[in-house]
Amino acid sequence: MSGSNLTRTEAEERKSVVTGPVHYAVSLDLTQGAKDFISKSTITFDARPGETTFVDLIADAVSSIDLNGESLDPQICFADSRIELPALSDHNVLTVVSTCQYSTTGEGLHRSVDPADGNVYLYSQFEVPDARRVYAVFDQPDIKATFDFDVNAPQSWIVTSNMPVKGTQDLGGTTAEGTLGEHPAESVKHWIFQTTPVMSSYLTAICAGPYAQWHTEYANEDGRIVTMAQYCRQSLAEDFAKDVDYLFDVTKKGFAFYAKTWGVPYPYAKYDQIYVPEYNAGAMENIGMVTIRDSYVFGSKVTDALAERRVVTVLHELAHMWFGDLVTMKWWNDLWLNESFAEFMSSLCTAEATEWKDSWATFTSGEKSWALVQDQMPTTHPITAPINDLHDTEVNFDGITYAKGASVLKQLVAYVGRDRFFKGINSYLNKYQYANATLADLLNELEVASGRDLKAWSRQWLEESGIDTIAADVTTSADGTISSMTLTQSAPAEHPVVRSQRMGIGFYDLNAATGKVTRSQSFELDVDGEKTTVPQVVGKKRPDFILLNDNDLTYAKLRFDDASREFAAENLYRFDDSLARAVVWLAFCDMTRDGEYSAERFIDVSLKMLSTEHESTTFRYALAALKTTAKLYVAAERREDVSKRVAQGLWDLANAAEPGSDEQFQLVGAYLDYGEEGDAPFVSNVRGLLDGTLKLQGLEIDNNLRWQLITALASVSAFDDAAIDAELKANDTTANREFAYGARASVPTAQAKEWAWQEAIYNTELTNSQLDAAARGFCATAKGKLAQPYVSKYFETVDWIWKNRTFHMAETLLVDLYPVYCDAAELVRLGDVWLESHADADRALRGMIIQNVDASRRVLKVSQANSNAA
152 - beta bridge partners? 29, 190
Return the pLDDT at 393. 86
Superfamily holding 1-209: tricorn interacting facor f3 domain (2.60.40.1730)
Q: Is there a contact between 27 and 40 (Cβ–Cβ < 8 Å)?
A: yes
Residue 158: predicted pLDDT:
98
Query: Residues 127, 278, 317, 738: which is the catalytic one?
Result: 317
- Report d(CA 858, CA 97) in Å as an integer: 52
Amino acid at 536: Q
Residues 6+ apart with CB under 8 A from 655: 696
Q: What is the CA radius of gyration of the chain?
A: 28
- What pLDDT sits at residue 2? 41
Closest among 617, 704, 659, 706 to 299, alpha carbons compared: 704
Residue type for position 847: G
Give long-range contacts, CB 8 A cutoff, 24+ apart: 762-768.
765/104, 766/104, 766/741, 767/104, 767/105, 767/112, 767/278, 768/104, 768/105, 768/106, 768/278, 768/280, 768/808, 768/809, 768/812
Determine the pLDDT at residue 3.
45
pLDDT in tens, 121-132: 999 999 988 999
Q: pLDDT at position 784, please?
A: 86
CB 97 within 8 A of CB 211: no
pLDDT score at 826: 96
Cβ within 8 Å of residue 513, ≥6 positions away: none
- Cα-based distances in Å from 358 to 99, 116, 351: 50, 38, 6
265 vs 164, 182, 269, 318, CA distance in Å? 19, 45, 12, 12
Return the amino acid letter for 762: Y
Residue ranges in the chain modelled with pLDDT below 70: 1-3
What is the spatial distance between Cα 413 and Cα 407, in angstroms, rounded to a whole number?
10
Partners of 533 in beta bridges: 486
For 365, the 3-state DSSP assignment is helix
Contact 59, 39 (CB under 8 A): yes
Kindly give, in sequence order, each residue whose CB lies less than 8 Å from that of residue 320, ignoring residues fewer than 6 positions away.
285, 338, 342
The DSSP secondary-structure symbol of 572 reads G
**Closest alpha carbon to 813 in 770, 858, 751, 859:** 770
CATH code of 211-322, in short, is: 1.10.390.10
Q: What is the pTM of this model?
A: 0.96
Q: Give the DSSP H/E element, type plus range, for residue 778.
A: helix 768-780
Q: Residues 493-497: contacts with CB within 8 Å, 24+ apart?
A: 494/466, 495/380, 495/464, 495/465, 495/466, 497/460, 497/464, 497/466, 497/468
| Amino acid 437: pLDDT | 96
Please enumerate in sequence order all residues whose Cβ is within 8 A of that of 460, keeping only pairs 6 or more positions apart, or say none.
Answer: 497, 499, 500
Nearest residue to 44 (alpha-carbon basis) of 136, 142, 151, 131: 136
Measure the CA–CA gap between 312 and 824, rounded to whole angstroms: 36
**Top-level CATH class of 327-461?**
mainly alpha
pLDDT of residue 397: 84
- What residue ranges in 81-162 does DSSP mark as E strands? 82-85, 91-101, 108-113, 120-125, 146-154, 158-161
To the query of whether residue 317 is one of the catalytic residues in this protein, the response is yes
Q: Could you give the CA distance from residue 589 to residue 368 in angstroms, rounded to a whole number? A: 12
